[in-house]
Structure 1
Amino acid sequence: MDARTDHVSAGQDLGLAVTDDSAEDTADVAAVPAVDAAADAAVGSLATVRDVFDQLNVMVVAWEGPDHIAVAANEEYRRYVGRDAFIGQPWNEVMPEIKGQQFLEILDRVYASGETHVGTEWRFQIRRDETDQLHEIFVDFTVTPRRDADGATIGAVCSVVDVTDRVHERHEAALRTAHVQERYEAVHDVVVELQRALLSMSLPVLPTATVAARYLVAAHDQAAGGDWFDAFVLDDGRLALVVGDVVGHGVVASAAMGQLRAVLEELLRTERELETVLARLDTYAAHSPSMRAATVVVVLLDPDTGQVVYGRCGHPAPLVLSEDGTSRLLDAGVGGPLGTGAVQSLAHTTLAPGEVVLLYSDGLVERSGHSLDEGVRELARVAGDAVANRALPVGAAASAADRVAELTMELMTRAGHEDDVTVLVAQRLRQRVEDLDLRLTATRESLHQVNASFGAWLAGLGPSAADRFALELAVTEAVTNVIEHAYPVGRPGVLNVVASVLPTGGISVRIGDEGRWRAPVPAATTGGRGLLLMSQVVDEAEVLHPPQSANAPEGDRGTTVVLRHRAHRDAVMASGRSLLHDETKEGDIPDADFDVSVEDDDSGPLVLLTGTVDLDSAERARAALLGAARGGVRSLTIDLTGVTQLASAGVRALFEVREQLVANRKQLVLVAEPGSPAAVVLELVSLTYHHPVVEPPPIA
């Protein structure tokens, strides 16, 4: 029987007719024997059923056989997917872009098991016309088995509801109320906060490797679990990657996890041989019942050479993925779980440039009714598609490590997860991260160029929002100092900015000039805060002067400011599936041009500052503030909640305005969101601010 006959037969089984109105279809339908009168009386005539099916306002599609041949689809579904002539074709040919998004696997399971599968708010990327453009959708769906007269499963029927608007609306509402919710949820989601406190959520920023991690708390209860991960650089330059799992949930498991994690990190930092580290960790675990039978895998990677040594104590084998999506298991170097006294062994391999190593906990690959081996094979497919950027490519992360971490977590847990899930990924880069090297003229226009170039370079590394804020503010202050003080007025000279990623993790920035150094005036009341801000927000801020010769005036050969900061990437932790995949990426802080607006009512003037308040915009801000205060004779409220960067020039303007107001016995009220860029700087310079007045969220 050919495919054409197959789909007509299947349409009869469903009581449905094929929706193609061609003459060939008409002939086929005419050839079908008449349905008996009893069926017509109970269900309706074939023509009526077909008409009703095609006018349903819910999307319905049906398949037959192990290849999932399309046998029926109503008009609502055909219009939605933008494909008409697909009856009689295998679904992987009708919608090839769906491969790797875990839906074809659902059809396989329903066909094999005869069990219904329900999906809620699944994210898909599909083509809805003849172009190659992908559209992102969210759908609720139910896939039910189709059976023949004997009860055997012959295919599947799927009903689909598009919920994209609902998901986006909820996401936007959550963004609008996020800052309010934080104040009223201090004790909400204690599980996530406990786990976050026990784990190190910071990942190193390296010049030759990219590291990403995700952690998902068990869905079936609210007890903190025993999974953990770690990634840090050893003194010899090797990257240590760790994933472990303590048996059980609750306070005992979390405490045991915290102890094992701390002991293992200390052993890795002090012992040279991994074999010794694992042996001593095994001995330590044997002394505590809560630690016995815990599993762990440790991978030590030299990012420069690709050399890897690894060992695993009862833990699932890591995966290595090539850029084309092919994979291999690191299934050697195996020993028993911790605390059992089992002999541990090590193994060696090499990570080629561009390759990715994936460590995970067994919660990622455990499936009801399926073996761990089947789960690992499915993980290899999903991770391989992520590396090659074949699955959900729209809006995907630029780095393979981030894609693998995000998509394996999302796709492998779509059907639910009963245990904590941990994913740790590292990619050995094909080439070292290039330094940022700028040689400019020290003018105000150069400040914008430095900020834009440095911000883009920094964003490519994906540091945390806090680290990006600290580094951008410190660089702004150092460059401002060169522009204002290094050269005579009207005779700007050279400005050099060189930024690099340190081999041991972190970022170094050198800002140099060839002008004359002038120390800050101690008596100044509104200036000289640039160096203070730099030293407060980054780990190290050093001012270097060249050696002085007997004949050279002090500072004639320029000054260099060296900033060093151990920047980190943030791991992602959640207690459930995110609303949307396109959350703000690590380090992706939106920039805004400076703007100022004034509102005046019976309570007095309110000035709203937004964007970047730096050397270029501070004078405009000062003029607007003094204008609103009428030179200092009216009390003033300044709202800084929209400020993305408050540089020392902006701070100087605030102090000058405050002095004017104080001289006239008027008040200055500053408003800032706690923890915001403006609030951090205000606290550093001892300027008091007030929290925004907000209404509490409605009680659900």
Structure 2
Amino acid sequence: MDVPEDMTKYAVLQKALLPTRLPVLPGVELSARYLLAETDASAGGDWFDSVVLDDARIALVVGDVVGHGVRASAVMGQLRAALGMALQDGADPAVAITRLEKFASRLPGAEAATVCVAVLDPSTGDLTYCAAGHPPPLIASRKGTARYVEPAVGSPLGAPGGYELGHDHLGLDDVLLLYTDGLIERPQSTPDQATADLLDAVEAAVAGPQYSAERVTEQVLDLVTGHSDDVTVLAAHRRTPVAAMTRTGPAVPETAARFRDEFAAWLRALEPEPVVVIGLESAVIELMANVVEHAYYDCAPGQLTLAADLAPSGQVAVSVQDHGRWKESEPSVDRGHGLALAGATVDDLTVKRTPDGTTATVRTALTKAPSMLVGEVSPATDRAEFSAAVADGRLLVGGPIDIVTARGFDRILREVARHATRPLTVDLSRVTHLASAGIRVLAAALRRSDRKLELVALRGTPADHVLGLTQLPHRTA
């Protein structure tokens, strides 16, 4: 659910203080949604957070500060930061909230704030939790039933009383839901009816075979009409960890193209945000192209191995390995930039050369955007073949432009430009992969055109991302 374009400056502040990303993890799927109050567009004190701990557990947090406006948002931001530090230091939920309560006692505006913390071990399903004056989490079973956990007694911050640690368990495919009280304090319903409605909504969300954390948070918010307070929901779906991927084949363009599509399917099944997908796919394409073009330059093509794995921390590592001997060459204007492009699209790139071959590894954190913040154009998820067609004076290009298709694309581009009677626009919005081989074709075409060629791509698409990295002049639609 996207935030309306007419969001006030206070809601913009709220957006800035909430997490901008959720981690994508191998054994648990997360989803968060934030809904602004209809009666007050200013920022509130609701917040959520997710903290990956050093032992591969995940801490999930929702909280609520009394009031709206800049003061509530500022208090919320400080409480969120203090609680996150306590959890990262290894404190269990009850101890972390106890520390937070001491911090809140010195923070004006934090009195009566509520918070719920749950720490999940995705590998075992063990769950510990604590609520400070906050509604208890609920657990939905793959059998289509839902229940609230036993309350772990605790008062709102600043009120007398201590905090208890609760224990529970998530079975495989169970979903944990944390939420703020705006979900069950609705003008049209009594608290008892609202809590029963919430159970019914979650049970309906997990009743089908294709349920997910995203589906649960989406259907839960369908309950909310005419609400007078902000609503925050955070769900965790414990699932079978994603299996690592390994592929080996001859180092030829056709193999690289097949591995590209298989890796894309593996990656997108994890549902990271589009910009991460674009960056990783671009890096992997470049690394495989380097093997095909350079690793076996003086002999018959040997083996190309692609391996990908997602660590419990949420960092994915992808390696491309060969057993050849690279030819050393100086970069030119049109060549030798594949590794630089690969490194620019990920968090880390390492290249290890030995007498037995070369292994290039890229690492990057997989993340997704909470629904309040979604706004980028999603790249196509279906496998697409290369295509090029002229319509209304534009060359519309789709599918991959890589070492397999770049030569054909170059021929088409030259032919269309030669017969064009006016400046030619090349629309790359439907391109699924733009590799350095395609960049070379476009750079050469721009030099030949004498400003009679314009490149266009929709914002957030793979072409827009890669053209920006390589600084090729283009217009973003």
TM-score calculated relative to the size of structure 1: 0.63
User: Which amino acid is 1:272 matched to?
Assistant: A
The 3 A distance-change label for structure 1 pair 403 and 672 is closer
1:561 aligns to 2:365 (yes or no): no
Q: Which residue of 2 is the match for residue 609 of structure 1?
A: 397
Q: Which residue of 2 is the match for residue 597 of structure 1?
A: 389
Q: Of 1, 9, 14, which residue of structure 2 is paired with 1:195?
A: 14
Q: Of 266, 271, 275, which residue of structure 2 is paired with 1:457?
A: 266
Report if aligned partners of 1:459, 1:588 keep a CA contact under 8 Å in 2: no
User: Which amino acid is 1:518 matched to?
Assistant: K
1:611, distance to aligned residue in structure 2 (A):
2.7
Report if aligned partners of 1:594, 1:611 keep a CA contact under 8 Å in 2: yes
SS of equivalent to 2:74: helix
Which ranges in structure 2 are unaligned for 5 or more consecutive residues? none
User: Which amino acid is 1:570 matched to?
Assistant: A
User: Which amino acid is 1:507 matched to?
Assistant: V
> Which structure's CA Rg is the greater one?
1
Q: Which residue of 2 is the match for residue 507 of structure 1?
A: 316
1:591, distance to aligned residue in structure 2 (A):
5.1
Q: Which residue of 1 is the match for residue 115 of structure 2?
A: 296
Q: How big is each residue's C-alpha offset from its partner over 1:548-592, in whole Å with a ceiling of 9 and x where there is no partner?
A: 4xxxxxxxx2211111110112221289xxxxxxx9998764554
Q: Which residue of 2 is the match for residue 648 of structure 1?
A: 436
What is the CA–CA distance in structure 2 between the aligned matches of 1:520 and 1:421, rounded to whole Å?
A: 58
Q: Which residue of 2 is the match for residue 540 of structure 1?
A: 348
**Pairs within 5 Å for 1:229-628:** 229-368=48-187, 370-389=189-208, 398-410=210-222, 412-413=223-224, 415-429=225-239, 431-488=240-297, 491-522=300-331, 524-546=332-354, 548=355, 557-573=356-372, 589=381, 592-598=384-390, 606-628=394-416
The 3 A distance-change label for structure 1 pair 540 and 366 is same
Report if aligned partners of 1:611, 1:644 keep a CA contact under 8 Å in 2: yes
**Pairs within 5 Å for 1:96-107:** none
What is the CA–CA distance in structure 2 between the aligned matches of 1:339 and 1:487, rounded to whole Å?
A: 69
Report if aligned partners of 2:186, 2:228 keep a CA contact under 8 Å in 1: no
What is the CA–CA distance in structure 1 between the aligned matches of 2:128 and 2:476, rounded to whole Å?
A: 52
1:629, distance to aligned residue in structure 2 (A):
3.6
Q: Of 446, 466, 475, which residue of structure 2 is paired with 1:681?
A: 466
The 3 A distance-change label for structure 1 pair 642 and 686 is same
1:475, distance to aligned residue in structure 2 (A):
1.2
What is the CA–CA distance in structure 2 between the aligned matches of 1:464 and 1:666, rounded to whole Å?
A: 35
Which ranges in structure 1 are unaligned for 5 or more consecutive residues? 1-177, 549-556, 576-582, 693-700
The 3 A distance-change label for structure 1 pair 277 and 690 is same
What is the CA–CA distance in structure 2 between the aligned matches of 1:644 and 1:192, rounded to whole Å?
A: 34
Instruction: Output the aligned Cα RMSD.
Output: 2.9
1:613, distance to aligned residue in structure 2 (A):
1.5
Report if aligned partners of 2:275, 2:460 keep a CA contact under 8 Å in 1: no
What is the CA–CA distance in structure 2 between the aligned matches of 1:631 and 1:676, rounded to whole Å?
A: 28
1:502, distance to aligned residue in structure 2 (A):
0.7
Specify which structure has the bigger relative contact order, considering alpha-carbon pairs within 8 angstroms and separated by 6 or more residues.
2
What is the CA–CA distance in structure 2 between the aligned matches of 1:559 and 1:592, rounded to whole Å?
A: 30
What is the CA–CA distance in structure 2 between the aligned matches of 1:374 and 1:355, rounded to whole Å?
A: 24
TM-score calculated relative to the size of structure 2: 0.91
Report if aligned partners of 2:178, 2:234 keep a CA contact under 8 Å in 1: yes
What is the CA–CA distance in structure 1 between the aligned matches of 2:298 and 2:232, rounded to whole Å?
A: 57
Q: How big is each residue's C-alpha offset from its partner over 1:89-144, in whole Å with a ceiling of 9 and x where there is no partner?
A: xxxxxxxxxxxxxxxxxxxxxxxxxxxxxxxxxxxxxxxxxxxxxxxxxxxxxxxx
1:636, distance to aligned residue in structure 2 (A):
4.9
The 3 A distance-change label for structure 1 pair 188 and 677 is farther
What is the CA–CA distance in structure 2 between the aligned matches of 1:498 and 1:273, rounded to whole Å?
A: 36
User: Which amino acid is 2:114 matched to?
Assistant: T
The 3 A distance-change label for structure 1 pair 296 and 353 is same
The 3 A distance-change label for structure 1 pair 212 and 369 is closer
Q: Which residue of 2 is the match for residue 579 of structure 1?
A: none
Q: Which residue of 2 is the match for residue 105 of structure 1?
A: none
User: Which amino acid is 1:639 matched to?
Assistant: D
Q: How big is each residue's C-alpha offset from its partner over 1:472-499, in whole Å with a ceiling of 9 and x where there is no partner?
A: 1111111111121222478222111111
Q: How big is each residue's C-alpha offset from its partner over 1:668-687, in whole Å with a ceiling of 9 and x where there is no partner?
A: 43333344322221222222
What is the CA–CA distance in structure 2 between the aligned matches of 1:416 and 1:340, rounded to whole Å?
A: 31
The 3 A distance-change label for structure 1 pair 422 and 516 is same
SS of equivalent to 2:87: helix
The 3 A distance-change label for structure 1 pair 353 and 186 is closer
SS of equivalent to 1:612: strand
Identical-residue share of aligned pairs (%):
40
SS of equivalent to 2:468: helix
SS of equivalent to 2:475: coil
Report if aligned partners of 1:195, 1:224 keep a CA contact under 8 Å in 2: yes
Q: How big is each residue's C-alpha offset from its partner over 1:173-198, in whole Å with a ceiling of 9 and x where there is no partner?
A: xxxxx9xxx9xx97656565433221
User: Which amino acid is 2:395 matched to?
Assistant: V
What is the CA–CA distance in structure 2 between the aligned matches of 1:357 and 1:404, rounded to whole Å?
A: 10
1:335, distance to aligned residue in structure 2 (A):
0.8
After alignment, is 323-332 or 307-316 more displaced? 323-332
The 3 A distance-change label for structure 1 pair 591 and 187 is farther
